[in-house]
Every structure is written in structure tokens, then in C-alpha cells.
Amino acid sequence: MQRETDIFIIGGGPAGLAAAIAARQHGLDVVVADGARPPIDKPCGEGLMPDGRATLAQLGISVPPAHSYPFRGISFASGGLRVAASFPNGAGIGVRRTILHSLMVARAEAAGVSLLWQTPVTALHADGVLLGKQLIRSRWIVGADGGHSLVRRWAGLDNYDYHRTRFAFRRHYRVSPWSDCMELHWGPKCQIYVTPIAADEICVALVSRDPHLRLDAALPAFPEIASRLRGAEPTSAERGAISSTRKLQQVYQGHVALVGDASGAVDSITGEGLCLSFRQAQVLAECFAIGDLRRYQQQHRALARRPALMSRLMLALDWNTSLRQRVMHAFGSDPRLFRRMLAMHVGALSPSAFVANSLSLGWRLLSA
């Protein structure tokens, strides 16, 4: 085990591995430690948008077609209404979280990252980190240890501007995808995502504000999905996770920086969590290379603006059924509105164009 490194990353999930790979692209020595053993799973919708795929490709990672399934866009369904649009910048893919993690581990190893699995970090030190009583010296330390980050607490960064929580549950089914879109079905104070991940398998994820609501209890409110899943073989056990909206006051302190869910989060309703983590990792690596974490603080906030805006808009539709149905009617009467919203969602539409889109949508709502 090496005793000294440029960067020590605590957390070997996608965010930590992305930060490690990006730092190696700048020629920095990197060690990653995680208490788990790969591949690491986490319940999520398992859809990767086109902008997320592009950012992943910049890290030197592509997901083979044999281990993923393409979808052309997004579909919304609510109260008997349905709208769909294609991405303006390529296809998205559904991919099992364990497959994505394995690909990222292989890329990190090939890039020269030192990976310490089943190796929990026990404390931070002025000169690095402690693994039990062993000190590993490091110029920089990265907390990539998720929403319940110990590094965030150790570094005194556990101060929020706001923090809201919802609850997600996921299960896979052996059934052929019935749509070429990733589907978002709106129900009573909850949503169900359906993502194709293989020619004969889908991922179904439920998100709500009720920690006790499970898929089996929610499905009767979604008769179309329930009908399609009737008799389908579950290929995984139901697993749960927290879906948070969290904004920290600071994402670095001294020589410690946070990335991924440890650094804040947008609600999983956006599907942008992975892409945001990958982009944060790239900026963080650039800041390490020039030795200036102040820029990371600024860029971190800038990166979060668009996903945070989309999260607020979509959660408003969750909270207000009447508003959601009026929006769905407006989308149905003018499909360009939904296409533009989706383009903004994946970063293919400028803020000014999005404002014009919002004004058009507002007029249609007023005249509905």
C-alpha cells in the first residue's frame, strides 16, 4: 500500500471513480478507498441521458450495446394523458448499475488508479487520512461517500441551505420493453419510472414522499403498468434508497472537497444525478491540477443550476395534480413545448430559449 499520494478519494462509487479517472487524465496520483467490494449497487432508475453518456465518454468509458438498451427520449403519462419527445442530442441508454460500476472500475484500473476495496477510512488527518492507525499522506482529500457522507461531517461541511427528502424503491422484471422511451408515470403523490435495460428486462422505480409506500402497494394506481407486469418474473429483490434535494453552503474546506451526492443532490425525478456527478468530477480534477478549490465552489454551483431548476419544475407537477394535468394538456396541444423542455433538461437548449418556452407554456396554461 502506497504511503503518499496527490489525491485520496473516500468512496468508490461512480462519483469517486469519475473523480479518480479525471484526476489521472491530469497526471495526478490517485488512491480510492471504499469499505465495500465491487460491483457496488445502488437503487436508481438506471437511465443514462445523452449528456451523461457524452460526459462518460470524455472519461474514456463507453457502455457496450450488449450490456445496455437504447431509448430515444422521454414519455410522460398522467391521468389518461401522454406526451413523448426524442432527445435532440442522441439516444439515452438503460444500464444496470452494477454493470456501469464494473466498467468504471476497469477504466480506473487501466488509468493507474490505486483501488483499496473493503478498506474503510477511519478519520481525516491534517496530512491525509487514517486507515485504522495507518496514515496515508495526501495533498488533497475527496469525499465521494454518498448522501450520508462521513467526510462531509468530519470536514465541518454539514451545513445546508435547504434539504428535502423523498424515498425510492426499485425492482427489475423479465419482460420485453414496450416503449422506445424511458417512461415517467405520474400518480397520486408518487411517480413510477420504467427504463428498458435489455431486450428482455426493464427497471421499475417508484419515488414518493411516503417512506412506507412500496411498489406492490403503488401499482394498483398505475393500471397500465400493472397490466404489463402481470405474470412477469421479478429478476431482483425490491431495494430502497433516499432521494434527496440538498444544497450545501460549501463543498470544500481547506484541502478537502466533496463530489457527487456527498456534495449535495437534486431529486431523482430529474434522472440527472450521474451526469451531474461526472461533470463535478471533471471540474474538480481541473481545480486540483491548478491548485485552486475556490473555482470548484463556483463551478459546482453553476453545474447544479439547470438540474435544480428542472427538479423544482417537475416537483411542482408532483405536488399539484390540477397544474400537472393543465401542463399535460398544453404539451399535448403543442408538442414543441415538451420537446423544448426535454432539450433544456439535457442541456441542448440555451437558458434564453428556455425562458421563451416557459412564456409560451404559461400563455397556454392561462388560455386552457
CA dihedral 43, 46, 52, 53 (to 10 degrees): 140
Distance of CA 253 to the CA centre of its chain: 24
Per-residue pLDDT tens over the stretch 58-90: 999 999 999 999 999 999 999 999 999 999 989
Which of 69-73, 249-253, 269-273, 363-367 is the least confident region?
A: 363-367
Per-residue pLDDT tens over the stretch 273-332: 899 999 999 999 999 999 999 999 999 999 998 888 888 888 888 888 999 999 999 899
> How would residue 361 be classed by pLDDT, with cut points 50, 70 and 90?
low
The verdict on pTM exceeding 0.75 is yes
Nearest-Å Rg of the Cα atoms of the chain is 21
Comparing CA positions, the residue from 78, 48, 80 lying closest to residue 318 is 78
Supply φ then ψ for residue 256, to 5 degrees: -110, 130
How many Cβ atoms are within 10 Å of 233's Cβ, its own excluded? 10
- What integer pLDDT is reported at residue 309 of this predicted model? 84
Q: What separation in angstroms does the CA of 15 have from each of 30, 52, 139, 274?
A: 14, 12, 20, 8
Average pLDDT over the chain reads 92
**Sign of the CA dihedral running 100, 101, 103, 108:** positive
- What integer pLDDT is reported at residue 81 of this predicted model? 96
Q: Do you find a cis peptide bond into 177, omega within 30 degrees of 0?
A: no
In whole angstroms, give the CA distance from residue 35 to residue 38. 10
Average of per-residue pLDDT across 188-203: 95
Under 8 Å CB-to-CB from 322, ≥6 apart: which residues? none
In whole angstroms, give the CA distance from residue 296 to residue 293. 5
